[in-house]
Chains A and B, each alone.
Chain A
Amino acid sequence: DQQVKQNSPSLSVQEGRISILNCDYTNSMFDYFLWYKKYPAEGPTFLISISSIKDKNEDGRFTVFLNKSAKHLSLHIVPSQPGDSAVYFCAASKYGGSQGNLIFGKGTKLSVKP
Chain B
Amino acid sequence: DVKVTQSSRYLVKRTGEKVFLECVQDMDHENMFWYRQDPGLGLRLIYFSYDVKMKEKGDIPEGYSVSREKKERFSLILESASTNQTSMYLCASISSGSHNEQFFGPGTRLTVL
Chain A binding surface, main DSSP class: loop
Range, interface on chain B: 20 to 34
* Chain B residues, CB < 8 A from A44: 43, 90, 104
Contact of B31 among A6, A43, A99 (CB under 8 A): A99
Q: Which of the four size classes fits the interface of chain A?
A: 20 to 34
A107 to B39, CA, bound (A): 9
Shortest distance between the CB of A1 and any CB in chain B (Å):
11
* B-contact 0/1 string along A24-41, CB 8 Å cutoff: 000000001010101001
Q: Bound complex: CA of A23 vs CA of B40, how far in Å?
A: 15
Q: Are A46 and B42 touching (Cβ within 8 A)? A: no
A100 touches B98 (CB 8 A): yes
Contact, CB under 8 Å: B42 / A106: yes
Q: B residues within 8 A CB of A41?
A: 9, 106-107, 109
Contacts of B90 in A (CB 8 A): 43-44
Binding site for A on B (CB under 8 A): 4, 9, 31, 33, 35, 37, 40-45, 48, 50, 56, 90, 92, 94-107, 109
